Structure 1
Amino acid sequence: MTIRRVLHIVGKMDRAGAETMLMNLYRHIDHSQIQFDFVTFTNEIGDYDAEITALGGRVIPILAGHSLTRMLKLKKFLKQQPDYQIVHAHMLLNNAFHLLAAKGAGVPHRISHSHSTSNGKTNIIKKIYEQWALITNRTLATKRISCGDHAANYLFGTTKDVWLLPNAVDIQKMISVANQSRHYINQEFGAKRLGDEGLKIIQVGRLNEVKNHQFSLEIAEQLKKRQIDFTLYIVGQGPLEDKLRRQVKEQTLGGNIKFLGMRTDITELMASADYMIMPSLHEGFPVVLVESQTVGLMALVSDQVSPEVDLGLGLVCFLPIQSANVWVDSLLSFQPPISNEAEIMNALNVHGFSAATNSQKLTQMYLNMR
């Protein structure tokens, strides 16, 4: 049987939401039938590049300083590589350029995949671009996929004829790792100041404006004012890191906040934390919230995040992002439910979050594209 190679369009294969979802599927997919390759727009090495190569995939950098130039280079590449009959784009509004390139190169199957509920742009020029990109996505995509209803409505204006593909995880592996990692934070960081009674809070996400770390620091400040013994572990990197570190120093929060950078042990960290916070300005369907519920971690989440993320396990609490004190009150008053492994596995399977199952569905979709 000839292996079908699918070309995924991403910015860079780092440990971010859409990229992690892709890797969860890629690890489970039948590589004797389907192989993934990835176009990136950087010459920097991504977190997942080595694993992609080990799994038989290719990482193909296309370098250009402007979206139009990238589009022309992608079109040229696709014309030179006619074996790519499926292009699967994951960059929200920028999918418009990738679909145009694929259409111009004669690629018959063009997938636009929505991973977010907003582009977060407000000025008039960006609004005009947004409208053009939305129309182009809806016109040129031969297949529409979304992580949830809200993300589908944003990019496609409807959920009709959109395949909802939840952000799946390796359920059994995560639960197994979590069960062995309940004291991981104390072991990893020594816990010289903190005992088990110290509040351990984790935030996972790129250090950019959308993730609203500024609000997280307000929460930390209020916790300190109330003389609460706590540590906030910030996992991720991004353009705001230097600014956030300066602010932590200025507010003398250094003893309570740890910047952990990019990590490969996020499951272990979540399994041993008391709470996760996600005060994001907007989100699609964050993989990390599926992961947090898989390991039984209580998450306090911005009410700007789609309610679809709540799997009914009592592990997600939506809060407004106007008052840090409201979040502090919740952190100090909530009693997270005792996680039931069978209940968690059932909820994840019922809601379609099994990477093994979803990879089978994705394989069949690709094979049916003739």
Structure 2
Amino acid sequence: MSPHRSEHGEERRRVLLVINSLVRGGAETQLLGVARALRQAGDEVVVATLRGGNDFAEQIEGDGLQTWLPASPDAGWDVRHAGRIVWRAWRWRPEVTVSFLLQATLLTRLLNVLVRPRRSIASMRNEKLETRLRTWLYRVTCGLDDVVVTNSRSAARTLRHNGTVPDDPRRIVVIPNGIDADAVRARATADPARTRAALGVAAESVLLLGIGRLSDQKDWPTLLDALARTDDSVSCVIAGEGPQREALEALAARLGVSERLTFLGLRHDVPDLMAAADALVLSSRYEGTPNVVLEALAMGLPVIASDVGACRELLEGTEGEVVPPGDAAALAAAIGRRPRRAGDSSAPASTERFAWGAVQRQWVALVHDRRAG
């Protein structure tokens, strides 16, 4: 099926982007950035989700995107809704499919068999999957996509080495995560001292900030263990929700760090938290290119991260450092070397190669099957 044309004569493709949900997170932010770029390039774009939840409704409306979402915002995985996506895709006949995250990718690969798009792209956001079964499912269905996109050179090497994706450089493409550094900084509007006071953190304390889903991937127990190995001058706040919250609160009590640790839940003022913190700590077991590290660099916030995914690449030439994943002693030592920041004196690190304009051009070129200009 040939692409149709816009009123100005450009090729106009029907592009279906599929993701698990639109609950705010790094993958969701990146997918919508890609959708915006394709819409601006003249394509007709639909975003479909498998589950309910939409933290980007205003952005989606402003970008003029069509959506195929469950009827209920609280809907979980629903076979009937998945069937509706398949039926609507069959009728709409997208010329390109793009999927983010495992469940969405598996459904989209089924769609590819039925719809036979001219081009199909899957985006792997981490350097590995959680279980052997998931890895096997991804591997055996990989032939139903033309290209797999990952967001770091490190992740691409790991995925090819462990057989998750074909060991063929033509089948895997590296496109880094995009960030609008100026927009991140513009969102930091609160006085850092007042933010610290509102968090109950003393002015002289070293404030660590953790951001992310409370799940196994982020390995919060290692951070809590490291916190227990530091002195009382170190406090920590964690912004994020997830299934492990109750267990983590219990672990904090057992380790004796509950008075120095606060679980903030889901927050929409992350740049203000970054402006008030002394270091971002990322204790993940695995990653791709973590958006939160890019945002910290844009804010001039030093980062202590596990040596996973693109973290080492991102932190080269900055005040940050990487430590072995799962090593609480090494993490505690790195925290001990991190001094209290003197106001807002830290200069933002360069994020030029992750600027949204460059990243979006790469995505548009890939979807349109041509080289980026």
The answer as to whether partners of 1:93 and 1:133 remain within 8 angstroms in 2 is no
Mean CA deviation greater in 320-329 or 164-173:
320-329
Structure 2 equivalent of residue 169 of structure 1: 179
CA change 1:213–1:159 in 2 (3 A) is farther
Partner in structure 2 of residue 217 of structure 1: 224
Quick one: distance in 2 between partners of 1:189 and 1:175?
18
1:119 maps to a residue whose letter is: L
Q: Matches of residues 101-180 of structure 1 in structure 2 within 5 Å? A: 101-122=111-132, 126=133, 130-137=135-142, 139-153=143-157, 154=159, 155-158=164-167, 160-161=169-170, 162-177=172-187
- SS of residue paired to 2:117: coil
**CA RMSD after TM alignment:** 3.0
- Is this contact kept in 1: 2:112–2:144, CA < 8 A? no
Give the aligned partner of residue 317 of structure 2.
Answer: 313
Shift of 1:210: 0.9
Q: Which residue in 2 is equivalent to 1:45?
A: 53
Distance in structure 2 (CA, Å) of the matches to 1:245 and 1:164: 38
CA gap of 1:19–1:315, structure 2 versus 1, over 3 A, is farther
Letter in 1 for 2:16: L
Is the 2:283–2:326 contact (alpha carbons within 8 Å) kept by the matching residues of 1? no
Tell me if 1:57 matches 2:58.
Answer: no
CA contact (8 A) 1:6 1:34 kept: yes
Give, in angstroms, the shift of residue 176 of structure 1.
Answer: 4.3
Q: In structure 2, do the counterparts of structure 1 residues 214 and 164 end up closer, same or farther at CA, with 3 Å as the change threshold?
A: same
Maintained 8 Å contact 2:24/2:55: yes
Inter-CA distance 13–191: structure 2 relative to 1 (3 Å threshold): closer
Distance of 2:312 and 2:228 partners within structure 1: 30
Q: Which residue of 2 aligns with 1:275?
A: 279
Shift of 1:277: 1.0
Cα displacement (A) at 1:74: 3.6
- Residue 28 and residue 76 in structure 1: after superposition, are their counterparts in 2 closer, same or farther (change >3 A)? closer
Distance 1:249 1:334, change over 3 A: closer
Percent identity between matched residues is 18
Measured after TM superposition, the shift of residue 295 of structure 1 is 1.4
Match for 1:242: what amino acid? Answer: E
CA gap of 1:340–1:19, structure 2 versus 1, over 3 A, is: same
Structure 2 residue 196 is the aligned partner of structure 1 residue 196? no
Candidates 295, 299, 311, aligned match of 1:295 = 299
| CA gap 1:309/1:66 in 2 versus in 1, 3 angstroms | farther
Q: Does 1:77 align with 2:88?
A: yes
Distance of 1:270 and 1:147 partners within structure 2: 23
Give the number of aligned pairs.
348
Q: Deviations over 1:234-253 (max 9, x none)?
A: 11111111222233345453
- The one-letter code matched in structure 2 to 1:283 is E
What is the CA distance between 1:46 and its match in structure 2? 2.2
**Partners of 1:308 and 1:299 in 2: CA distance:** 11
Secondary structure class of the residue paired with 2:139:
helix
Q: Structure 2 CA distance, aligned partners of 1:31 and 1:58?
A: 14
Displacement of 1:98 in angstroms is 1.4
Tell me: CA distance 1:106–1:266, structure 2 relative to 1, closer, same or farther (3 Å): same
- Distance in 1, matches of 2:243 and 2:198, equals 29
- In structure 2, the CA distance between the partners of 1:170 and 1:32, relative to structure 1 (3 Å rule), is same
Q: For residues 20-31 of structure 1, what are the structure 2 equivalents within 5 Å?
A: 20-26=29-35, 31=40
Q: Secondary structure at the match of 2:262?
A: strand
Q: Which has the higher contact order (CA 8 A, sep 6+)?
A: 1
The question of 1:331 aligning with 2:341 is answered no
CA deviation profile, 1:200-257 (whole Å, cap 9, x unmatched) = 101111110111111121122222xx3x223211111111112222333454533211
Alpha-carbon distance in 2 for matches of 1:149, 1:22: 19
The offset of 1:58, in angstroms, is 2.8
Residue 95 (structure 1) aligned with residue 105 (structure 2): yes
Amino acid aligned to 1:333: R
Equivalent position of 1:354 in the other structure: 355
Query: Aligned partners of 1:77, 1:234: CA distance in 2, in Å?
Result: 40
- Aligned-pair CA distance for 1:39: 1.3
- Could you tell me how far apart the structure 2 residues matched to 1:365 and 1:303 are? 29
Q: Structure 2 vs 1, CA of residues 36 and 316 (structure 1 numbering), >3 Å: closer, same or farther?
A: farther
TM-score normalized with structure 2 length: 0.82
Q: Quick check: 2:119–2:367 contact (8 Å CA) kept in 1?
A: no
Aligned AA (1:266) = V
**1-side partners of 2:248 and 2:44: how far apart?**
40
Give the aligned residue type for 2:141: T
**Helix, strand or coil: the match of 1:37?**
strand
Deviation at 1:358, TM superposition (A): 1.8
Query: What letter matches 1:355 in structure 2?
Result: W
Shift of 1:40: 1.1
Structure 2 SS opposite 1:315:
coil
Change (3 A) 1:279 1:200: same
